[in-house]
Structure 1
Amino acid sequence: MTEPATEPAGGVIPVSTRVMNLATFLTQAARRDPDGIALVMGEACWTWAEFEARTDALAHALQTRFGLQKGDRVMCQSQNCMEMMQAMFATWRAGGIWVPANFRQTPEEVAWLTEASGARLMLCNAAFPDHAAACGVTTLAFGAADFGPSVQAITAEHLGSRPQVAVVDRDDPCWFFFTSGTTGRPKASVLTHGQMAFVVTNHLADLMPGLTGEDASLVVAPLSHGAGVHQLTQVARGVKTVLLPTERFDVAQVWDLVREWRVSTMFTVPTILKLLVEHPATAGADTSSLRYVIYAGAPMYRVDQQRALRTLGKVLVQYFGLGECTGNITVLPAHLHDAEDGPTTRIGTCGHARTGIEIQIQDDQGRELPPGQTGEICVIGPAVFAGYYRNPQANAKAFRDGWFRTGDLGHMDEAGFLYITGRESDMFISGGSNVYPREIEEKILTHPAISEVAVLGVPDPLWGEVGWAICVASAPVTEEELAAFVAPKLSRYKLPKRFLFWDGLPKSAYGKITKKMIREELEARGLLEQAPA
């Protein structure tokens, strides 16, 4: 006699895992407000109805003219433009997987991403013919180009046509979100339709509650990564998106656009926010429309945070989250940002767990550590990605007992607020003691002459490793003066052995200071050769 199958917990067998195609967010916005402004870039302006019609036309062409099938990967090489957002929604609508590259990467790097992702189609801005040639796949151009038909012309030809909207399940991939590749080759984090629907809902709940079509969002970061996720959230609520008219970042122009369009939300990184706040044009800018100035991608130093709060008001929202968690780990909402230090101010925290997300601080064996103890930040929840594409070794390293291991170090307090110590790879050991550069950097930045700093561990014959502080000064200061300033603020073993002064620190394409690039610059200058091994 055959035994009956074991009944699942709750007695319910799922009958469907189907979810909404992400491109439906655009359809819904167009139905609610067809004549409302959706996209603006310089003199160009699309209504929601026009945005929807153009997306339909391109999706129809992708299916009927270029044979795009569900699950096909579509590479995109472009700086921000209106057609890039059109192509993203068209790719999803047709069933494809969006694979955006960092547009500042070389042709060889983008060719590698194309091969690694298995992309069979490419959307490329006309400004990048060498990238199109290097990738060697069927290519459509944003603008007039000799390497492929233009998206604008194809859209005009297919205008009025409707595609077959792809049916998707919760775990169907929609986006290959490449990591920045700070260690080794970039890895493709697989984001899914169901995951992204949760992320959009979570962003609206935790970062920007109450958005409506009366709001406007200014894009000051590349749409290929976090800013693209942010703009998907704006589309879900019918918020108009304003793109900078050129690739050049002009602070005075940013504030002009904020005033003209009554911009209420912006997504940026701490280095760009610092630049905005400190620019002379900011003093006379009308920032009264701002509701949420969201920063992520790296912790913000306390002195910079205070300056931004005093300049812009209580509008800052911080979140911490890797691409693999689609930005959904913690949030420090506006009401918890305080410009003044006080007994209730949580200085240095990146916030508490996002809705639906659980965080643990774990030791090397995966055991949960108590509040106050430093360990690896690990995460579970619906925002966590499906894994790295065709990379079982990376997946095995990234997950342990179902927890995603971020590779970031930190601790939590009794109330569940998270404090990031730094990347596991940034930590160095001096005289047998763990040293976390971020703590030292915070102290150095309190000196009025220092505008930027990065601390790295460098080999030392006596202590194993010692810290070097690479500083950018806005006023004259000597190494001896800075060492004397910091000495009372730090334990002796944490004091940097050297203070170097550069005109600027190298930054990634997303405006982040990366230790890998600084170490490479030290090597290029021959400075590490001078360090005793």
Structure 2
Amino acid sequence: MTDRTTAPAGGLAPVSRRVMNLSHFLRQAARRHGGRIGFVWGDRQWTWAELDRRVDAMAAALAARGVTKGDRVLVQSKNCNQMFESMFACFRLGAVWVPTNFRQTPGDVAYLAEASGARAMICQAEFPEHAAAVTAAVPALDVALSIGASDFGEDYDALVEEHLGRTVETAAVEHDDPCWFFFTSGTTGRPKAAVLTHGQMAFVVTNHLCDLMPGTTEDDASLVVAPLSHGAGIHQLAQTARAVKTVLLPGDRFDVAEAWRLVEKWRITNMFTVPTIVKLLTENPAVEAFDHSSLRYVIYAGAPMYREDQKHALATLGKVLVQYFGLGEVTGNITVLPPVLHELEDGPAARIGTCGFERTGMQVSIQGPDGRELPAGETGDICVCGPAVFAGYYDNREANAKAFRDGWFVTGDLGHMDAEGFLYITGRASDMYISGGSNVYPRETEEKILTHPAVAEVAVLGVPDRAWGEVGVAVCVLRPGAELTPEALLGWLEGKVARYKMPRQVFFWDAMPKSAYGKIVKKDIRLELEARGCLTVAASS
């Protein structure tokens, strides 16, 4: 994974594939825009020059404790300036940043520490159980820093103050040197560490700026409404590359009114989010209480956005929506649907259901199980190749063998492309079920159910059935104050989808289980259905 050389065409001698260390993005921002505000959190602000000095200091502190190139540094933290800084401090040393989902249990985080081979840990003081679990699981972990006063590690900010003014030499890195272990969300199994590299991520940042936020400059501002450990962290890395001000929500709880207040105060021009958060932002009355005319790009990813929610957001915000499709393993870089192609009115121009066209420098192939590329309109495995594809899963040959086919990364999503190259996602391969010999892709039925005015959220799953093999079960969350019976919903759905796609049962819940990033987690819905005894009823239908 490191020290790789290549032999160029023409018989030339092998050459190093040295690339820019990603921490240089911060250095560039500090040199060119040092006096400008780079980061805002609550009532505190840091200039780009201050951030760069703090990163130098933390890198020096880690180096003094033996952290060096290739070492993995686990970070268990909510969004804060220290988490943001830790990314660049790791990069500067050539170490690997390993952020966790802070909502995970201590046991889950201990597993991530083991799976990554972490040498050091940076943990917020409010997570002592997580710190204890990690140190117990990984005896070799001999560096522990605490964001805030604690009993388990040296104080992060005290170390920064101690080392201010010191610098370390920025590590020389090559294209395939790892910089970030991006753990998959684990919605279908234990999380795996996708290895992101300096060379790959330089392309990703360039691609984000090209395809998602064209024209972005130091005069822009970005609001963070998702954890920096995953997609939002990649988004903020791209912001740093153009010295864009980053603004964090001041508290732990997602406060819609506060988000819109910050949009108005800081003249926010872009934000990265997920469909469920876009829904919350645009359906809350606070959206009309604050000026959001500065917004140019409201970027959503992580899951397709249901058409009814998309139309409401467009009517509320105007044509500022940007959709991109991509997994952590491809760092989001598969397709894009820019604002100009987000149409409010249904019709041919709206291209309803598409997640856009291929990102710059990326190629999508719809393939059958044998790897043969399928023609336009046929559903198959969505596969992708290009510079944004990760280097593979860390220390997991079996997962790598399953993930790649003849050089293509097999995403696990199913879909088709039209003749113009627009991609349509049918659903996860794991979501498809077979009823009476016919393949059923739940998303089509979910889209139809969501057009009912009483339904706010829905998930359709295939469950065992003696007669048909599998049948669909729909779990719905109603809008506040709405009333609906299962019989009424099924009667309304009659004729809107084929009979074999109709759910056999409907359940209404107060809330859906979701991941830390706002995705509905179907495996948790299935477990809850089993716990409530619902699946045994469906199996005997």
TM-score (normalised: structure 1): 0.97
- Report the Cα distance in structure 2 between the residues aligned to 1:456 and 1:133, rounded to whole angstroms: 38
What is the letter of the counterpart of residue 22 of structure 2? L
1:356–1:13 CA distance, 2 compared to 1 (3 A): farther
What is the letter of the counterpart of residue 527 of structure 2? E
**Aligned pairs (5 A) from 1:319-330:** 319-330=324-335
Match of residue 202, structure 1, among 185, 199, 207: 207
Q: CA deviation at 1:283?
A: 2.4
- Which residue does the alignment assign to 1:495? 502
> Would you say 1:81 and 2:86 are equivalent positions?
no
Are the equivalent residues in 2 in contact too, given 1:60–1:164 (CA < 8 A)? no
What is the letter of the counterpart of residue 413 of structure 2? D
What is the letter of the counterpart of residue 479 of structure 1? P
- Which residue does the alignment assign to 2:41? 41
- Which residue does the alignment assign to 1:127? 126
What is the letter of the counterpart of residue 51 of structure 1? L
Report percent identity of matched pairs. Answer: 68
What is the letter of the counterpart of residue 502 of structure 2? L
Q: CA deviation at 1:342?
A: 2.1
Write out per-residue CA displacement over residues 31-89 of structure 1, whole angstroms, 9 at most, x where no aligned residue.
0111000010011110000000000001011112x101110000000000001011110
- Report the Cα distance in structure 1 between the residues aligned to 2:469 and 2:369, rounded to whole angstroms: 22
Match of residue 322, structure 2, among 312, 317, 325: 317
- Which residue does the alignment assign to 1:3? none
- Report the Cα distance in structure 1 between the residues aligned to 2:350 and 2:274, rounded to whole angstroms: 22
Q: CA deviation at 1:96?
A: 0.5
Secondary structure of 1:344's counterpart equals helix
Q: CA deviation at 1:391?
A: 0.4
Q: CA deviation at 1:529?
A: 2.8
Q: Which one is further off, 471-480 or 79-88?
A: 471-480
Are the equivalent residues in 1 in contact too, given 2:281–2:287 (CA < 8 A)? yes
Are the equivalent residues in 1 in contact too, given 2:466–2:539 (CA < 8 A)? yes
Are the equivalent residues in 2 in contact too, given 1:38–1:46 (CA < 8 A)? yes
Q: CA deviation at 1:530?
A: 2.6
Match of residue 141, structure 1, among 138, 146, 155: 146
1:8–1:40 CA distance, 2 compared to 1 (3 A): closer
Match of residue 236, structure 2, among 231, 239, 258: 231
- Report the Cα distance in structure 1 between the residues aligned to 2:358 and 2:94, rounded to whole angstroms: 32
Gaps of 5+ in 2: 1-6, 136-140
Write out per-residue CA displacement over residues 509-533 of structure 1, whole angstroms, 9 at most, x where no aligned residue.
1111111111111112221233326
- Report the Cα distance in structure 2 between the residues aligned to 1:519 and 1:93, rounded to whole angstroms: 44
Match of residue 403, structure 1, among 397, 402, 408: 408
- Which residue does the alignment assign to 2:523? 516
- Which residue does the alignment assign to 2:102? 103
What is the letter of the counterpart of residue 519 of structure 1? R
Are the equivalent residues in 1 in contact too, given 2:504–2:538 (CA < 8 A)? no
Secondary structure of 2:15's counterpart equals coil
- Which residue does the alignment assign to 1:63? 63
Q: CA deviation at 1:13?
A: 4.2
- Which residue does the alignment assign to 2:193? 188
Gaps of 5+ in 1: 1-6
> Would you say 1:486 and 2:485 are equivalent positions?
no
- Report the Cα distance in structure 2 between the residues aligned to 1:44 and 1:159, rounded to whole angstroms: 19
Are the equivalent residues in 1 in contact too, given 2:355–2:425 (CA < 8 A)? yes
- Report the Cα distance in structure 2 between the residues aligned to 1:361 and 1:294, rounded to whole angstroms: 25
- Which residue does the alignment assign to 1:529? 536
Q: CA deviation at 1:14?
A: 4.3
- Which residue does the alignment assign to 2:138? none
Secondary structure of 1:368's counterpart equals coil
**Aligned pairs (5 A) from 1:22-37:** 22-37=22-37
- Report the Cα distance in structure 1 between the residues aligned to 2:262 and 2:315, rounded to whole angstroms: 21
What is the letter of the counterpart of residue 285 of structure 2? P
- Which residue does the alignment assign to 2:268? 263
- Which residue does the alignment assign to 2:3? none
**Aligned pairs (5 A) from 1:431-446:** 431-446=436-451
Write out per-residue CA displacement over residues 92-137 of structure 1, whole angstroms, 9 at most, x where no aligned residue.
1011000000000011110111011000100001110111111113
Q: CA deviation at 1:272?
A: 0.8
Q: How many residues align?
A: 526
What is the letter of the counterpart of residue 125 of structure 2? A
TM-score (normalised: structure 2): 0.96
- Report the Cα distance in structure 1 between the residues aligned to 2:427 and 2:85, rounded to whole angstroms: 37
